[in-house]
A and B are shown apart, each in its own frame.
Chain A
Amino acid sequence: MSKYVQDEKPPMTAEAKAWLEKETATQEDRYKAIVDEQDGLIPEREKWYAEFLEIVQTKGFNFTGDQRRVIPKEEIAEKPDRPDAMRVVW
């Protein structure tokens, strides 16, 4: 079996463990703040989605590079009736 430097890493030190624990908690707070902020954008995001769907039906959708295809109305999805429909942070 190949062996790598990472396989010989000394165990995590107590100060590194404390650092990881503290930063994990801070990251959870950061995540929560992002979720709250992004939930606050939902009304604006609804408008952005509507504008986007208008653009792909008129100017077209970039399917690769600058190549566009105008999407017919019947291919446009309906907003689903599920609670995560407007969720963007996972």
Chain B
Amino acid sequence: MARPHIEPYVEFNEDYRAFDFAAYKGAEYKVLSLDVDTGASSLKVKFNGGYTRKPGLCYSDMEIFVLSGEIKVGTETWVEGHFAFVPAGVALGAMEVSQGAEAIIWYNDSEPTFEETDRDHLLALKEGFVSVNSYLDCPWASGSIVSPSTATGCMIKLLRFDPITEAMTFLYCMTPEFMQDNISYHDCAEESYHIWGTSWMMQFGDLPTGGYFWRPPYINHGSFRSKLGCIAIGRTDSKLHNYFHFNPWTNPDDNQARAASFLYRQRPQLFRWVGAGGHNHPHGPQGQLNYQKPPHDFETPGYGHRPDVSALANQSYTFREMDHLHADEYVHKVHHAHKVEEDHHHHHDHEHGHAHHHGDGDLDHKH
């Protein structure tokens, strides 16, 4: 699995631990969430006064948001609100923290690594580098940059947008007395750290200052409230589409099927083409899509080799992988209910009397 659903988690209740390897030896950290397969991680890092690090590069894309203090990085000075996206292989200048600083740091592809050098790696995608003070140098925009959109009072500052995956990093805020009366879910994983203030969601209750979540796709969240307002930094790993509804009891499988129904209604030819892949039904359309290879994009050939794209393609969310950490009786009931449901579906679907298998694109069968 990629990362489990961590929501809500308030990091203020945890102690820092010494960072005793590679990237930030001498600093302290807390893990907010972690991809247990790759080591990709979201960390809160504390640099004590006097911290220094030589110039160097990392073999993972890395993002940093400065929460407090001042960090000198090469010729730049990063203060509260500074955001940087550092593509894998781009060498950062020497770091120096004279009075102490705290930051959220994300490693997108693998565990934190560090190689001392003052030169970029030959393969580094330098043009992707972003370094901006999000508080001082970016405007607030309406949340309606996506549609269906959030209610007035939720605003964003877009800090990074990946044109290939449409992954985003953004600041967002909710004004005091913000409210939005719907339940939302997305096709993407979503992550947030509350810099200041409290928001409330109907499933999870309050998310206060220092509150964090990593939420896999298709998980209900909302309705939404913020009594006094809040500001947070958020990320998605791919395109964010707001699927709004008002049924509080749906589960991720229900939500995923509903998302597919949107595709069926709104992009019917694409749905048919994608759905045919991996399905060898003798009377149906024949595999236009080979799931071992990404579909050809004449504009961006070779995109499938990009580390973030291939990582996304290989992620598989079954929403049952963490069942062993739920109460035994509860898990037993859930498994039993799903077993009955699956048996029923299979019996029904196979009534046409000939054998076929279901590929990855089989949207009705979640095993």
Residues of A within 8 A of B (CB): 1-10, 12-13, 15-16, 19-20, 23-24, 26-28, 30-32, 34-35, 38-39, 41, 44-45, 48-49, 52-53, 55-56, 59-66, 68, 71, 75-77, 79-80, 82-90
CA distance A9 to B204 in the complex (A): 38
Provide the B125-150 mask, 1 if CB < 8 A to any CB of A, else 0: 10000000000000000001001111
B6 touches A27 (CB 8 A): yes
CA distance A61 to B327 in the complex (A): 34
Residues of chain A lying within 8 A (CB to CB) of residue B327: 39
In terms of DSSP, what is the predominant structure of the interface of chain B? loop
Residues of chain B lying within 8 A (CB to CB) of residue A55: 181, 223
Q: How far is the CB of B5 from chain A (nearest CB, A)?
A: 5
CA distance A26 to B247 in the complex (A): 34
A sample of 22 inter-chain contacts (CB < 8 A) reads A2-B306, A4-B125, A4-B306, A5-B89, A5-B121, A7-B123, A8-B121, A8-B123, A15-B21, A19-B39, A26-B31, A27-B36, A31-B322, A52-B223, A52-B248, A61-B181, A62-B244, A64-B147, A65-B144, A84-B337, A87-B251, A89-B7
A60 touches B181 (CB 8 A): yes
B181 touches A19 (CB 8 A): no
For chain B residues 77-94, which have a beta carbon within 8 Å of chain A? 87-89
Q: A6-B60, A90-B252 are in contact. Are A31 and B6 (CB under 8 A)?
A: yes
Q: A24-B34, A39-B327 are in contact. Are A2 and B6 (CB under 8 A)?
A: no
Nearest chain-A residue to B180 (Cβ)? A62
B34 touches A23 (CB 8 A): yes
Given A8-B123, A65-B149, A87-B251, 11 other A-B residues pairs in contact with their CB atoms under 8 A: A1-B305, A4-B123, A5-B87, A6-B88, A16-B113, A35-B326, A49-B249, A63-B244, A82-B337, A87-B334, A88-B204
Nearest chain-A residue to B184 (Cβ)? A62
Among B9, B249, B252, max chain A CB count under 10 A is at: B249
Residues of chain B lying within 8 A (CB to CB) of residue A20: 34, 36, 39, 111
* CB of B110 closer than 8 Å to a CB of A: yes
Provide the B293-324 mask, 1 if CB < 8 A to any CB of A, else 0: 00000000010011100000000000100100
Q: How far is the CB of B319 from chain A (nearest CB, A)?
A: 4
CA distance A31 to B125 in the complex (A): 35
Nearest chain-B residue to A33 (Cβ)? B9
* CB of B109 closer than 8 Å to a CB of A: yes
Q: How far is the CB of A75 from chain B (nearest CB, A)?
A: 8
Q: How far is the CB of B137 from chain A (nearest CB, A)?
A: 27
